[in-house]
């Protein structure tokens, strides 16, 4: 097995201190090329001490540089170079974003890509190798479209959107500002609808609608979002989907609702705002789910749910009720033992 190093970027301690408005304690030429947890640090990494529970790691960490609080008092000598800052947590977040931005600092249109003639896009577009954008589509400013992406006809893509490798977007889709689409997700495939003919064979229902993602939506890897039969499948502002989520035709998901991995939502269901849906939960078709609803992992929702409710089970009932019943379910063998005595006594009586 070959071992790799993050060789692309090196940062020296004095430079980092400048960025963060901090002060170096130790060798200001110490360099790092990655970030790590304080307990896992190695010679090329920068860590931080953001919680006093981890103070002991300060003296044993192999991290080359550690961010610490201005006021921290050392109990022993430290082999790492320290950078003292006002708030190590915030400073570390700042560095995390810096490293991420560096990685996505991509620009230019690959000569091995295809953009149809009448597509509108901005000068700062990044468009990767073997990617395709069909005719009549529009792409906003500061957009990064990675390699092997497919964008169909009449697609509209907003500003500051990131589309990772292998994403497929069918015709007529609308992608809002600041959306992130992870590798392999499919936007706008046909909904699953059939009419039975006289011989009981399935006749396909045409899907002429589209998918609309409003601003700040994030779609996980290998998710699938079907286009509407008519009208639109809509994900409102700030909706976040984890990986392998299925959103069927004509579904509408309210603002800032967060959906964990492997969830399935059947056709025409309307989900409210600020809901949280746990992993592998499923929602039947044509339902109405209120706002701030919590659907526990693995729940199967077969009925409408009112706002501010938490549900669990198959079919899903109120979370607390499910748990109370489940306690007795687990206890059924013991209960039955006592009960069978009663039955016996009552027969004997």
Which residues have a catalytic role annotated? 249
Least Å distance, CB 256 to a copy of itself, is 6
- Tell me: does residue 10 bind a copy of itself (CB under 8 A): no
Q: Please state, as a whole number, how many other Cβ atoms lie within 10 Å of the Cβ of residue 147.
A: 16
Residue 309, both tokens: 């409710």
- Tell me: does residue 100 bind a copy of itself (CB under 8 A): yes
The residue with tokens 């570390």 is 92
Question: Could you give the string, one character per residue 55-94, with x where binding to a copy of itself holds by CB under 8 A and - elsewhere?
Answer: --------------------------------------x-
- Tell me: does residue 15 bind a copy of itself (CB under 8 A): no
- Out of 119, 163, 244, 289, name the contact with a copy of itself by CB under 8 A: 244
Distances (CA, A) of 244 to 35, 260, 293: 29, 9, 21
Using CB under 8 A, which residues numbered 38 to 57 contact a copy of itself? 40
What is the distance between the alpha carbons of residues 235 and 244, in angstroms, rounded to a whole number? Answer: 16
Task: Check: CB of residue 250 under 8 Å from CB of residue 191.
Answer: yes
Least Å distance, CB 65 to a copy of itself, is 14
- Tell me: does residue 13 bind a copy of itself (CB under 8 A): no
Q: Please state, as a whole number, how many other Cβ atoms lie within 10 Å of the Cβ of residue 123.
A: 7
Minimum CB distance to a copy of itself smaller for 73 or for 342: 342
- Tell me: does residue 342 bind a copy of itself (CB under 8 A): yes
Distances (CA, A) of 203 to 200, 206, 231, 274: 9, 10, 21, 37
Minimum CB distance to a copy of itself smaller for 77 or for 200: 200
Using CB under 8 A, which residues numbered 156 to 195 contact a copy of itself? 156-159, 164-166, 168, 170-172, 174, 176-177, 180, 182-184, 186, 189-190, 192, 194
Residue 115, both tokens: 């953009």
Minimum CB distance to a copy of itself smaller for 27 or for 171: 171
Helix locations, the chain, DSSP H: 13-20, 57-60, 88-103, 319-330, 332-348
Least Å distance, CB 165 to a copy of itself, is 4
Q: Give bridge partners of residue 127 from the DSSP assignment.
A: 109, 145
Least Å distance, CB 17 to a copy of itself, is 20
The residue with tokens 């589209």 is 210
Least Å distance, CB 84 to a copy of itself, is 21
Least Å distance, CB 245 to a copy of itself, is 9
Using CB under 8 A, which residues numbered 277 to 336 contact a copy of itself? 279-280, 282, 284, 297-298, 300, 302, 313-315, 317, 321, 324-326, 328-333, 335-336
> Can you list the pairs that 27-34 forms with residues at least 24 positions away whose Cβ atoms lie under 8 Å?
27/81, 28/81, 30/64, 30/65, 30/81, 31/64, 32/63, 32/64, 32/65, 33/5, 33/6, 33/7, 33/8, 33/9, 34/6, 34/99
- Out of 51, 60, 112, 307, name the contact with a copy of itself by CB under 8 A: 112
- Out of 52, 77, 345, 348, name the contact with a copy of itself by CB under 8 A: 345
Q: How much is the CA Rg of the chain, to the nearest whole Å? A: 27
Q: What is the largest CA-CA distance in the chain?
A: 92
- Out of 62, 87, 154, 310, name the contact with a copy of itself by CB under 8 A: 154
Task: Check: CB of residue 303 under 8 Å from CB of residue 320.
Answer: no
What is the four-CA torsion angle of 59, 61, 66, 70, rounded to 10 degrees? -20
Per CB under 8 A, the segment of 11-19, 62-70, 75-83, 97-105 that binds a copy of itself is 97-105
Minimum CB distance to a copy of itself smaller for 68 or for 167: 167
Per CB under 8 A, the segment of 10-18, 24-32, 54-62, 125-133 that binds a copy of itself is 125-133
The residue with tokens 């990655």 is 34
């Amino acid at each position: 097995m070959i071992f790799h190093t993050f060789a692309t970027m090196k940062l020296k301690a004095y430079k980092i201190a400048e960025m963060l408005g901090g002060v170096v304690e130790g060798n200001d030429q110490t360099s790092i090329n990655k970030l790590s947890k304080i307990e896992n640090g190695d010679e090329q990494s920068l860590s931080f001490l953001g919680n006093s529970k981890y103070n002991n790691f300060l003296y044993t960490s192999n991290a080359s540089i550690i961010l610490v609080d201005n006021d921290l008092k050392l109990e022993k000598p430290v082999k790492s170079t320290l950078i003292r800052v006002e708030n190590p947590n915030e400073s570390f977040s700042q560095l995390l974003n810096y490293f991420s931005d560096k990685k996505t600092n991509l620009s230019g249109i690959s000569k091995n890509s295809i953009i149809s003639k009448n597509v509108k896009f901005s000068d700062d577009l990044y468009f990767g190798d073997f990617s395709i954008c069909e005719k009549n589509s529009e792409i906003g400013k500061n957009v990064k479209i990675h390699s092997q992406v497919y964008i169909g006809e009449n697609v509209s893509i907003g500003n500051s959107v990131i589309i990772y490798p292998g994403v497929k977007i069918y015709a007529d889709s609308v992608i809002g500002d600041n959306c992130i689409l992870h590798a392999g997700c499919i936007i706008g495939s046909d909904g699953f609808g059939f009419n039975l003919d006289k011989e009981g064979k399935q006749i396909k229902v045409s899907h002429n609608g589209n998918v609309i993602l409003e601003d700040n939506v994030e779609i996980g890897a290998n998710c699938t979002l079907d286009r509407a039969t008519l009208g639109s499948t809509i994900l409102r502002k700030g909706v976040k989907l984890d990986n392998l989520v299925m959103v069927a035709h004509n579904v509408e998901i309210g603002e800032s609702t967060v959906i964990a991995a492997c969830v399935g939502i059947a056709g025409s269901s309307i989900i409210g705002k600020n809901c949280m849906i746990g992993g592998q939960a499923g929602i039947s078709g044509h339902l109405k789910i209120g706002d701030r609803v919590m659907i526990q992992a693995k729940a199967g929702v077969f009925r409408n749910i009112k706002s501010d409710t938490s549900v669990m089970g198959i079919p899903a009932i109120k979370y607390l009720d499910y748990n109370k019943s489940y306690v007795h379910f687990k206890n059924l063998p013991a209960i039955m033992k006592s009960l069978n005595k009663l039955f016996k006594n009552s027969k004997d009586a």
